[in-house]
């Protein structure tokens, strides 16, 4: 973990009929994302029975995350979200608190 890395938590709430498609799309980009410069961690989790997907990400810099969001395979998923999602993605960006 980098001293000043950026942590991202994303809550993705697909409509029930699109849950599997959304999950499969996200799973399909895991290997590419993990190979991107600046990606330290990219994990997917599910809230069983509630059709909610969570992403846990760690990036070296905000610029690396911005570049990730511009990749063609990410833009394709973002476009599909317009139909798939029950509500907008909730994104929380954080940095680790330094001990004083």
Nearest-angstrom CA–CA distance, 45 and 1: 20
pLDDT digits (tens, 9 = 90+) for 5-46: 999 999 999 999 999 999 999 999 999 999 999 999 999 999
- What ranges do the domains of the chain cover? 6-95
22 near 14, Cβ under 8 Å?
A: yes
Helices (H) and strands (E) in the chain, counts: 3, 4
Band (pLDDT 50/70/90 cuts) for residue 50 is confident
Band (pLDDT 50/70/90 cuts) for residue 47 is confident
pTM over 0.75? The answer is: yes
The domain over range 6-95 is classified in CATH as 3.30.70.100: yes
């Amino acid at each position: 973990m980098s001293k000043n890395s950026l942590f991202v938590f994303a809550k993705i709430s697909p409509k029930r009929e699109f849950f599997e498609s959304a999950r499969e799309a996200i799973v399909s980009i895991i290997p590419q994302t993990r190979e991107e410069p600046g990606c330290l961690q990219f994990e997917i989790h599910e809230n069983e029975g509630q059709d909610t997907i969570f992403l846990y990400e760690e990036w070296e810099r905000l610029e690396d995350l911005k570049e990730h969001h511009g990749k063609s395979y990410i833009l394709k998923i973002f476009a599909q979200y317009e139909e798939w999602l029950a509500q907008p993605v909730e994104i929380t960006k954080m940095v680790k608190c330094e001990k004083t």
